[in-house]
Amino acid sequence: MKEKDIQTALSKKHTMHGCFELKLCKTKAIRLDSVKDHQVEALLAASSESGLYHKITDSLPVFGGNKHMRFTSKKPFDFVFLKNTPAYVVICFYVPRKKKRCLYIPIKRWVEFCAIHPRKSVREAELEEYAECEINL
């Protein structure tokens, strides 16, 4: 199970709009520093009055099996500007052969939690009260 597999499964049940940083936890606790500083800054910017501008990288060629065939995946548009957009850290707790539980924690609550949490990692039960919603896959 990889993060991209969770993202695919989540896309079928996900109905919220906003910005999301998805993390997959395969152990009993997730390290707080798994959400990197630049990701926190971007989520905070997108949810703020000042906003976040992001240019989508120009499409790169995708080569098929034949070296003479070249395809370019089309990008949807050039850039996005997000302002006062809901932003979340989404942590999916995964145990093989059981339901996967995804907790949506608003970025401001995540920052508050990280500031007061005494350890470097956090268990699922400790995050429940900070989650705005959850989706089971």
pLDDT digits (tens, 9 = 90+) for 91-100: 999 998 888 9
66-102 confidence digits (pLDDT tens): 666 556 667 888 999 999 999 999 999 999 888 899 9
Residue 35's SS3 state is: coil
8 Å CB contact between 106 and 127:
no
How far apart, in whole angstroms, are the C-alpha atoms of residue 106 and residue 116?
16
Tokens of 38: 């630049």
Q: How many residues would you count in the chain?
A: 137
Average pLDDT, the chain: 90
Q: In which element (H, E) is residue 20 found? A: strand 19-25
What the block records as the tokens of 88 is: 């979340």
User: Pick from 90, 102, 110: which is nearest to 41 by CA?
Assistant: 110
Q: Is the dihedral of CA 56, 78, 23, 119 positive or negative?
A: positive
Helices (H), the chain: 3-13, 37-46, 107-116, 124-127
Mention the CATH class of domain 3-51+83-136.
Answer: alpha beta
Average pLDDT over residues 109-118: 96
CA angle 33, 92, 73 (to 5 degrees): 90
- Domain residue limits, the chain: 3-51+83-136
Global pTM reads 0.86
